[in-house]
Amino acid sequence: MKTLKTLEPLSNRLLEIQRINSAASVLSWDQETYMPAGGGTARAEQIATLQGIAHQQLVSSDTERLLGAWLDLQTGLALEQDGELWDESSNALLREVWRDYSRARKLPSDFVIRLSRECSLAQQVWAEAKTQNTFKSFLPNLRTVLSLKREEAQHLGFEGTPYNALLDVYEPGSTVAGLRPLFAQLKTGLVPLLRRIQQSSVQIDDTFLYHAYDQARQLEFGRLVLIAMGYDFEKGRMDLSAHPFTTSFHPTDVRVTTRVYEHDLPSCLFSCIHEGGHGLYDQGLDPTHYGTPLGESVSLGMHESQSRLWENCVGRSRAFWRFFYPILQATFHHQLRAVEMEQFYAVINRVKPSFIRVEADELTYNLHIMLRFEIEQDLIEGKTNPEELPGIWNHKMKEYLGIVPSLDGEGVLQDVHWSTGAFGYFPTYTLGNLYAVQFYEQAKQEIPHIEDEIAAGQLMVLRRWLGQKIHRWGRMFTPDHLAQRVTGVSLSPEPFLRYIERKYGELYRLDKA
């Protein structure tokens, strides 16, 4: 049996490339956290240079030689050799390296550099346009990025729609044809449920949210929850940024960011738990495989499943707050002493159509995704003129959520994704929501006392389970294979729909009419 040992020359080569990519990630993290405003243009070029070099190295004759010794570079199939078989890890490594290599090979290095540079610049213009609520000032950059992404799809090749080429980058194997029925089933389940909730007579008193909450204490509490989750601050840190995110430079250096507002307690709280879920995944990857696909997360949908599992299944559960609410009350004694846990629970689970995706409840969140999925597909297919985007956005908001934003900043400009060229990324959020529930239901089956543990503040039990089942495997299995290994079945919207019906049915006292 041939093992990873045989592949060491290839792994060492990949390690070099990963170090360059990690360096680019440090530069991006700095750009979002500490970089002075004036440094943006130079930074865009520095990141583009590193990404160009990483790309060149991945498609270089060196890599080709090392990979081509074992695989047919055109098909990715193993060459017939001495008859000795590869072990499972080696097979997975070769499969995933070939995936990366063959994708990279289709993109010219100068295209990669141009895309990186234009996206960094567009992101900076977008940030300003968002603040100013002026879609028009972002439009030229959006056009540029869009045309580059369409060019990218052409380079990559696709079946059906060019959008498929982009989807596959974030969620290997996902296609419009696969997602559409999933989303349709969700819509069929969620839209009537939303109507029933909106007709419910249950009133949720959220006046306590309007108090001021000291920012330093909010951050302290967020940090406390992260530590309880098992996030290791010796191998990570938490900073502030306009948009919370998680990034990793190595399993020993995984960073989360959050934001904090005096008059928005849930924002910091849930962004900490959410990013903490991402952080645990990255800290849980096997450091001995750093640099190879076996040391990388398997997909964005799977990554999001970890953040959403912690944020929603755990962080919006009664079990969690049974332990943490008394601490939160002690932290904000003045504001919360008269607020019962049950009221707090209701407020953090309240369903209410709103403009901002990241602040949406668990139900309407997916409607936000569906409208973006439709819009970006049309943009990539050239069916929509980017100029018309604000109108289309508002129309679809009305259709899906029944509300229309009056400002671009809380409408079409709210998300960073399109400015960074991340078309095809949004669907992974809904995949994450679905995976999250499917995994959590499985965890409850395998560890029947898990909610008692959580209610006792013992979050490490769940963390270990996720580490064993998901984190440590890296890209050993495809997303679908991993889902099957963990839960016995492929991804399905049903566990999520059951969970949502149960949770909100109880909260809003809905009759099963």
Q: Is 463 helix (H, G, I), strand (E, B) or coil?
A: helix
Q: What is the DSSP letter of 422?
A: -
- Judged by CB under 8 A, the number of residues near a copy of itself is 35
- Residue 47 vs 380, nearer CB to a copy of itself: 47
Confirm or reject binding of residue 49 to a copy of itself (CB under 8 A).
Answer: yes
Binding segment for a copy of itself among 27-35, 145-153, 201-209, 448-456 (CB under 8 A)?
27-35
For the segment 250-279, give every residue that binds a copy of itself (CB under 8 A): 250, 252-253
Provide the token pair at 473: 């495997």
Q: Please identify which residue in 80, 84, 159, 234 interacts with a copy of itself, judged by CB under 8 A.
A: 234
Q: Please identify which residue in 3, 9, 39, 195 interacts with a copy of itself, judged by CB under 8 A.
A: 39
371 residue type, one letter: L
- Residue 254 vs 437, nearer CB to a copy of itself: 254
Confirm or reject binding of residue 117 to a copy of itself (CB under 8 A).
Answer: no
Closest CA to 93 of 284, 292, 298: 292
Angle between helix axes 427-446 and 479-487 (nearest 10 degrees) is 20
Question: Is 118 a residue of the active site?
Answer: no
Confirm or reject binding of residue 24 to a copy of itself (CB under 8 A).
Answer: yes
Among 275, 296, 376, 451, the one annotated catalytic: 275
Confirm or reject binding of residue 411 to a copy of itself (CB under 8 A).
Answer: no
Confirm or reject binding of residue 286 to a copy of itself (CB under 8 A).
Answer: no
Q: How many residues does the chain have?
A: 513
CA distances for 217 relative to 48, 221, 224, 245, 361, angstroms: 38, 6, 10, 20, 24
Confirm or reject binding of residue 20 to a copy of itself (CB under 8 A).
Answer: yes
Q: What angle do CA 25, 55, 472 make, to 5 degrees?
A: 55
Q: Give the start-end residues of each E strand in 312-385.
A: none
Ranges of H-type helices in 59-134: 61-68, 88-105, 109-132
- Least Å distance, CB 30 to a copy of itself, is 6
Rounded CA gap, 76 and 97, in Å?
Answer: 9
Confirm or reject binding of residue 36 to a copy of itself (CB under 8 A).
Answer: yes
β-pairing, 253-258 vs 246-250, is antiparallel
Rounded CA gap, 251 and 202, in Å?
Answer: 46
- Least Å distance, CB 140 to a copy of itself, is 23
Binding segment for a copy of itself among 31-39, 215-223, 412-420, 457-465 (CB under 8 A)?
31-39
Contact (CB, 8 A) for 146 and 383: no
- Least Å distance, CB 235 to a copy of itself, is 4
Q: What angle do CA 62, 158, 433 make, to 5 degrees?
A: 95
- Residue 18 vs 377, nearer CB to a copy of itself: 18
- Least Å distance, CB 228 to a copy of itself, is 18
Catalytic center residues: 275
List interacting residues with a copy of itself (CB under 8 A).
16, 19-20, 22-24, 26-27, 30, 34-39, 41-43, 45-46, 49-50, 53, 232-237, 239, 249-250, 252-253, 290
